[in-house]
Amino acid sequence: MERTRNGEFNWVDLSATDLEQQSAFYEALFGWQHTDTPMGDSQIYRMFKLDGHTVAGMAELSPDQKQQRPSAWNTYVAVDDLDKTVAKAEELGATVTMPPADVPGGVGRLASIQDPTGAYIFFWKPSKLDESMEYMMPGTLSWDDLGTRDPQRAIDFYSKLLGWDIEPMPGGQMPYWVVNIDGQGEGGVMPMPEMVPAEIPAYWLPYFGTEDLKTSVSKAKELGATVLVEPTEVPEMVAFAVLADPAGASFALMQPLRAA
């Protein structure tokens, strides 16, 4: 299921500080299997599949990059016109961190920005369809949250840039806005927790699906993960937990709940 509609979350990959350790962790946790594509200069891009479905990627940071930033998951959004989207993002106050460029092999066109609240996000225009891709299933990308110290500015930015319909979710213990894409909730915006150190910028947090949250969290802990937010329920909607993998990259797990 190739996700190519403008504004859809359509890919996620990990900037790894320890490619083999982190690969082993996610493969053991989700049952992923990998294949490697040479990228030049002895670098590889690692693609993960689950039951024949393409689900995520991973590449190791260079030695210099490892000195400058930690391991982190990267969020990608599909756009109809990558160059126009990046130009508009800049007009709306974003900083271009990777200008539009063709990816080797003719697979697509890529760019990244830092939004006006500090979060990094990638835009991706694939040139080849991958019908094996899957989302919102166990072991695959199922949601994406933006944690920011200025939610309203982020909401204004992404609404104007991507046409997202971002609506407040009533009744929660803390403010939360749902990102609707063509009428379907696929992500959210929330205030950054006060516990997050001031030097950490706003960030996108990917959620991977699971059929049994507590079992998945327990397995992740056995594999060396740290639990940052214990399993939490949003009644009759989802249960989720936030973790850090053995190298410190944050991610979340989510289990849909069915009303009784």
* The dihedral formed by the CA atoms of 40, 12, 229 and 236, expressed in degrees to the nearest 10: -160
Spell out the CATH class of 9-126. alpha beta
Identical fold, 9-126 and 141-256: yes
Q: Show the DSSP H helices in the chain as ranges.
A: 19-30, 63-68, 82-91, 151-162, 213-222
Q: How many CB atoms neighbour CB 154 within 10 A?
A: 23
3-state secondary structure of 163: coil
pLDDT value of position 134: 64
For the chain, counts of helices (H) and of strands (E): 5, 16
pLDDT value of position 62: 84
pLDDT value of position 217: 97
Q: Given the DSSP bridges, would you call strands 184-191 and 177-181 parallel, antiparallel or unpaired? A: antiparallel
pLDDT value of position 260: 39
pLDDT value of position 168: 92
Identity of the residue numbered 147: G
pLDDT value of position 73: 96
Contact between residue 22 and residue 245 where contact means Cβ atoms under 8 Å apart: yes
Contact between residue 175 and residue 218 where contact means Cβ atoms under 8 Å apart: no
Q: Given the DSSP bridges, would you call strands 203-209 and 250-256 parallel, antiparallel or unpaired? A: parallel
Max intra-chain CA distance, the chain: 55
pTM of structure: 0.92
Query: For the residues of 129-145, what is the DSSP string, one character each?
Result: --TT---SSBTSEEEEE
Ranges of each domain in the chain: 9-126, 141-256
Architecture of domain 141-256: Roll (3.10)
Angle, CA of 159, 98 and 67, to the nearest 5°: 115
Q: What's the CA gap between 154 and 48, in Å, rounded?
A: 31
pLDDT digit of tens for each residue in the chain (260 aa)?
A: 556 678 899 899 999 999 999 999 999 999 999 998 887 777 889 999 998 888 999 999 888 888 888 899 999 999 999 999 999 999 999 999 999 998 877 778 999 999 999 999 999 988 766 655 667 789 999 999 999 999 999 999 999 999 999 999 887 678 999 999 888 889 999 998 787 788 888 999 999 999 999 999 999 999 999 999 999 888 778 899 999 999 999 999 999 886 43
